[in-house]
Amino acid sequence: MGAKTSLWQWFGRHDGITGAVAVCALGRALDFATTWVALGQGRAMEREPLATHVFHMLGLPAGMITYEALITTPAIFLGCRLATRAFGSGSPDHPVNTTLGERMFFVSIGVISVIVAAFNAQYLM
């Protein structure tokens, strides 16, 4: 019972933002892993022009890591920042300034990434 309570406290911390980030991170990890394996096995190809260019320029492993670290991840956090500004109330009730928009943004990125990972899984079978 104690583990469940502490896990709930961890996910509920900062107005639920930790749970939203966990969903986003899980989805991104599944998407990255399935894409990596499918591309590595030669069963799939990247259709996004910028990603394709980076993969060809740096090679598959280095290109995927570079693309994820320098483009995708900052874009996610920039979107999060924009959601915070768009939906933030700036009230003293929210000292961390986490908003519903920010949480929804993280969760939607995670859900979309899980959908992409499920789609990618067909190339692994």
Contact 99, 88 (CB under 8 A): yes
From CA 54, how far away is CA 67, in angstroms rounded? Answer: 7
pLDDT one-digit tens code per residue, 19-54: 778 888 888 999 888 888 888 888 777 778 888 888
Number of residues in the chain: 125
Terminal Cα-to-Cα distance of the chain (whole angstroms): 39
More confident residue, 123 or 64: 64
Structure confidence at residue 7 (pLDDT): 47
Handedness of CA 82, 83, 87, 90 (dihedral sign): negative
pLDDT one-digit tens code per residue, 65-115: 898 888 888 888 888 777 767 766 555 555 555 567 777 888 889 999 999
Which helix (H) or strand (E) segment holds residue 99: the answer is none
DSSP codes joined into one string, 39-55: HHTTS-----HHHHHHH
Confidence of residue 15 (pLDDT cuts 50, 70, 90): low
Backbone angles phi, psi at 33, to 5 degrees: -65, -45
| DSSP structural state of residue 14 | T
From CA 80, how far away is CA 84, in angstroms rounded? Answer: 6
